[in-house]
Structure 1
């Protein structure tokens, strides 16, 4: 969920080049594996460090670190609305000790280009596909998204089962959040609650830096991939006058709905966390992502 006004809610690739047959250092020519050499060359072509890549005619800022072990998926972190990849930097650093981990700024966020016009889940999904082509190649991926990033990941996975082999949704924006806000906070609301309603509905309609129209929709199945859904434990939405407790209930119900995305879904609560689970309780995020990556392998 995009940040609500502070007055209302305070918290609302590794380069390895296989150059051919090498016999120095005691290695025997017959020990050379041509298929391994091909894989090393593929790895050499993948993004390493932080740089801007071209996707669909736009410059997209990406960051990759760590090396993918044999059989392990590439972990791709997806920031929330109003954030950028720097918000995922600490999480990426921790995870990259054992994994290849990448993050990126969506169009309109961080150091990436701005979108030319309105975006929807299909267009932002095309950018994600282009990013995955360059940061993961043919390797399977695990998408780990926070808030809006989680919603985008959950919308993307069912249509890309060949590539997405696991999901971690960290307090992901519920699939029917626009309708929930409109229902819970009525048009007749006054004061701060009315401001929250107007602000959030405008954001969902596309009045945000990404120009993304955040449409409600049903939760679609991504098959039997491992999925971990983590919801916040500190009820920060309850700070909204009159309607906060009902919004909290709607948010919790939305987290439970995400379980329908897979027959191997698991819901947990980060008891000490507000909306930013990966910064409030990074250990919970790391463990969930590593569990999914291990199961996806």
Structure 2
């Protein structure tokens, strides 16, 4: 666990470089745990009640309770937006951007298992199992309609891994400083076994989380980026180079992070990369206007494509 012996920059970096919440990172509050519960039946399938979810409710996926929040309404043919938070964060962290987007769009967010007001996972999770939870959320968010996924950090990785296998539903992506598709290799190369100092603890703690540590117990293997077709995709990277502050290894970590953002462009033939110049890792907090405009552009492009 991270403790007071580590420099503050290392605590920040441990959250940012992997997008995973550890002790000392901003974690979702459990305040939403008293929200009224609404139960669905089959995992990943539509609920018997065909009405789309509104407000904050609980749905059940494979016997586990998942906290979901939906607001706003979509014009005919316009995809619903599903926000996918980074590790250690949940729907409360994304409440501000959800409120802004819901003025013109139908928007939903959720707490993955192990986060916020959702249940703890009953064992190790995989991208497939966390994708099953996302499918259930999408069904309640959009019914038979399309969606745009907007993911931050680990949530961006999850969204980009999910989209190629669900091209019937996912019609656009916005990836906000998404965790690199080769994050483990990036860390092992950027902070080698011969390294000393606080960077070593950073590497070991981050790799432990990527390999099934708490809170989500999610296994996040490295892998090539698969194509989701020609859907509109915007990849937004941070502009404030805070990773460069890590002693000895910071500049290399920044270069690897930037390269990781470029790798995500392969998810679509219609991808574009931009930089939020005044933002750290939390782009939707530091420069919410940049995030909102990107999500609305992708949603409009997806709607125009039908």
TM-score between the two structures when normalised by the length of structure 1 = 0.87
Secondary structure in structure 2 of the residue aligned to 1:168: strand
Q: In the alignment, does 2:241 pair up with 1:244?
A: no
8 A contact 2:10–2:198 mirrored in 1: no
Alignment correspondent of 1:253: 259
Pick from 179, 203, 224 the counterpart of residue 185 of structure 2: 179
Q: How big is the shift at 1:7? A: 2.4
Alignment correspondent of 1:278: 284
Q: In the alignment, does 2:85 pair up with 1:84?
A: no
Q: In the alignment, does 2:243 pair up with 1:227?
A: no
Secondary structure in structure 1 of the residue aligned to 2:117: coil
Q: In the alignment, does 2:166 pair up with 1:160?
A: yes
8 A contact 2:172–2:298 mirrored in 1: yes
Q: How big is the shift at 1:10? A: 5.8
Q: How big is the shift at 1:9? A: 3.5
Q: How big is the shift at 1:121? A: 0.5
8 A contact 1:108–1:209 mirrored in 2: yes
Pick from 119, 125, 129 the counterpart of residue 123 of structure 1: 129
Q: In the alignment, does 2:131 pair up with 1:101?
A: no
Q: How big is the shift at 1:8? A: 3.1
- Matched residues in 1 for 2:178 and 2:137: separation? 21
In the alignment of these two chains, the number of paired residues is 264
Secondary structure in structure 1 of the residue aligned to 2:8: coil
Q: How big is the shift at 1:88? A: 0.6
Alignment correspondent of 2:35: none
Instruction: Identify if the C-alpha distance between structure 1 residues 6 and 120 changes in structure 2 by more than 3 Å, giving closer, same or farther.
Output: farther
Q: How big is the shift at 1:53? A: 1.1
- Matched residues in 1 for 2:243 and 2:199: separation? 11
8 A contact 1:204–1:214 mirrored in 2: yes
Alignment correspondent of 1:110: 116
Consecutive unaligned residues in structure 1, runs of 5 or more: 13-41
- Matched residues in 2 for 1:208 and 1:10: separation? 16
8 A contact 1:221–1:260 mirrored in 2: yes
Q: In the alignment, does 2:209 pair up with 1:203?
A: yes
Q: In the alignment, does 2:111 pair up with 1:75?
A: no
Secondary structure in structure 2 of the residue aligned to 1:85: coil
Secondary structure in structure 2 of the residue aligned to 1:202: helix
Q: How big is the shift at 1:44? A: 6.8
- Matched residues in 1 for 2:109 and 2:89: separation? 12
Alignment correspondent of 1:139: 145
Pick from 139, 149, 155 the counterpart of residue 149 of structure 1: 155
TM-score between the two structures when normalised by the length of structure 2 = 0.84
Alignment correspondent of 1:7: 8
Alignment correspondent of 1:55: 61
Q: Output one character per residue of 1:1-45: Cα deviation in whole Å (capped at 9) or x when no partner.
A: xxxx66234643xxxxxxxxxxxxxxxxxxxxxxxxxxxxx9971
Cα RMSD for the two superposed structures: 1.4
8 A contact 1:8–1:192 mirrored in 2: no
Larger radius of gyration: 1
- Matched residues in 1 for 2:211 and 2:247: separation? 24
8 A contact 2:72–2:107 mirrored in 1: yes
